[in-house]
Structure 1
Amino acid sequence: MQPAQQRALLIGAMPALFVLIWSTGFIVARYGMPHAPPLKFLAWRFALSALCFVLWVRVSGAAWPQGRAQWRHLAVTGVLMHAGYLGGVWAAVRLGIGAGTVALIVGLQPVLTAVWISRTGSLSERVSARQWIGLALGFTGLLLVVGHRLGSGEVTVANLGLALFALLCITAGTLYQKQHVARCDVRTASAVQLLAALAVTLPLALLEPAPVQWHPQLLGAMAWSVVVLTLGGSSLLYLLIQRGAATAVTSLLYLVPPCTALMAWLLFGESLSLSVLVGLALTAAGVAVVVRATRSEA
């Protein structure tokens, strides 16, 4: 296989790989959350991930972003997409909200992205009727997959507010990166984003009274979070946003809750009801409609 064909194959596999990696974040929370408060866990994760990227940059000689404005834009996206999004999700789970419910709430991101683009006409994109149909299908699928967990008493004002905060952060970060961040090396960009996230998270983590218990499950969750989720998943998300239209990229997040449900079934024996299976099909169909509509209009 020629190098160009290998590159094309790798680029084509990036969306599916991203969904699989991103879906494990909720599984990791189940393993690691009992042994560390959320912000302390995330501060360690950001610090270790940033160190890995800095070492990678030093070995590879990758170019750092040019200009103060670019560093500032990357810092903003790092605070929103790492500190804000992950902090909101992990704190909400810590306060008792289910992983499936968080996945449902954060899964509203494509709808917010589409509404923002439709209202503002930003990013030189317009949401077509076909895309709205796809978004509606995907949202309906999400409701079927994890909707049974709503109304069960697990949602409070505090954890719901944190989950909504995470949703706003990941949506704003995605749109901000697409509009303001120029193309640059993903390794140096990620290092800047993580250092900014660490600068915001660390002071708050020091206020958490509970200590970190270095249990084997926590060590495994930390290793997976740093190596797979941050170095792999966050880098893929950066590249996907850089390469694709914002609505099509965020529509991939519709697949995360169904994938999480499948992983929970395989790993923890959680049941898959008929409504979940129907939701999986609707979600996949919705994503396909959005992505195909975007490609046909490109």
Structure 2
Amino acid sequence: MAQQVAGEVRSDWVRVMPAVFVLLWSTGFIGAKFGLPYAEPFTFLLLRMLAVAALLGLVALVTRAPWPRSWRLAGHIAVAGLLVHAVYLGGVFFAISQKVPAGITSLIVGIQPLLTAALSGWLLGERVSARQWGGLLLGLVGVGLVVSEKITAGTGSAFGLGAAVAALVGITLGTLYQKRHCTGMDLRTGATIQYAATAVAFAVIAPLTESMRVQWTGEFVFALTWLTLVLSVGAIFLLFALIRRGAAARVASLFYLTPPVTAVVAWAMFDERLGAVALAGMAMTVVGVALVNRSA
């Protein structure tokens, strides 16, 4: 009887894991907004990268995870990490620090699957179908509607919106680069290398561009802890657990709900509001990305 109950609990947990992952991933944008009043963006990210690299490095050592077999592979892993973490996270945090709403930042970088689909045919030789191109166009129009409303309303700076676009380019190129050059990477050691390389990058950038002053308030400590443990470790390992259990398709489809979920949470916590045009654009973007994913 006890085994049956335990089995039912595990089955229920597997069913809700994709939704939990999307909710956790969406809070990454909220965590950035929550902590940025107390530290500048690159200083914040430097502290986060150091903490994650140390934590995952310890995990890799304790579990005796295999390290890359060549310096060449380690270099490829580091480059992918700089694109995915330094450019992507740096762009996201800088955009939010420039008063770009978390929901809008999430939406801009959320079209990454669309841009990846557009570039994969050129860079990786993958076929892009007519439906995917249609989804790409629909998604781009949707993002254009959202961004145009915010520009008209004077929300966020041009530099902030540009940083969000840079984050989109960074995670897209990083994903394609990792797919091409980092196959077979062990998650534990590979992530340690990527976070350590990103920490080195921010250790150079932060002193040159920021004062590096940190207000160690309870809110900042909470945001740093949440982003380190829940996002950089918990959400990533949850994603791989889902893939291992064969739930990758559900994760892929639910992943595209990240922008609207972020917008709802940002509305509840920070009173970030979206007008009718922005809501219509967000809906178009979600449908466009879903078309790309379904076609693939």
TM class by smaller structure: 0.7 to 0.9
Matches of 2:190 and 2:241 in 1, distance apart? 11
Q: Which deviations, in whole Å up to 9, do the C-alpha atoms of 1:22-65 show, x marking residues without a partner?
A: 21121112210000011111111001111110111122222222
User: How far apart are 1:172 and its partner, in Å?
Assistant: 0.9
Matches of 2:137 and 2:84 in 1, distance apart? 24
Aligned residue type for 1:59: V
Q: Partner of 1:45: helix, strand, or coil?
A: helix
Q: What is the match of residue 152 of structure 1?
A: 153
User: How far apart are 1:165 and its partner, in Å?
Assistant: 2.1
Query: Map of 1:183-198 to 2, 5 A cutoff?
Result: 183-198=184-199
Change (3 A) 1:149 1:157: closer
Q: What is the match of residue 54 of structure 1?
A: 57
Q: Which deviations, in whole Å up to 9, do the C-alpha atoms of 1:210-264 show, x marking residues without a partner?
A: 510101110110011101111133456789999x9xxx99887643221111212
Q: Which deviations, in whole Å up to 9, do the C-alpha atoms of 1:165-202 show, x marking residues without a partner?
A: 22221111011011111212211111010001011111
Q: Partner of 1:209: helix, strand, or coil?
A: coil
Query: Map of 1:28-67 to 2, 5 A cutoff?
Result: 28-67=31-70
Q: What is the match of residue 21 of structure 1?
A: 24
Identify which range, 158-167 or 135-144, moves more after superposition: 135-144
CA contact (8 A) 2:96 2:160 kept: yes
Change (3 A) 1:117 1:159: same
Q: What is the match of residue 89 of structure 2?
A: 86
Structure 1 unaligned spans of 5+:
none
Q: What is the match of residue 262 of structure 2?
A: 260
Q: How many residues align?
A: 288
Aligned residue type for 1:266: A
- Say yes or no: does 1:288 pair with 2:284: no
Change (3 A) 1:18 1:134: farther
Q: What is the match of residue 220 of structure 1?
A: 222
Q: Which deviations, in whole Å up to 9, do the C-alpha atoms of 1:127-171 show, x marking residues without a partner?
A: 111222333444455456665323222343432332222222111
CA contact (8 A) 2:114 2:139 kept: no
Q: What is the match of residue 232 of structure 1?
A: 234
Q: What is the aligned-residue identity percentage?
A: 45
Matches of 1:178 and 1:214 in 2, distance apart? 38
TM-score, L = length of structure 1: 0.80
Aligned residue type for 1:204: I
Q: Root-mean-square deviation (CA), in Å?
A: 3.6
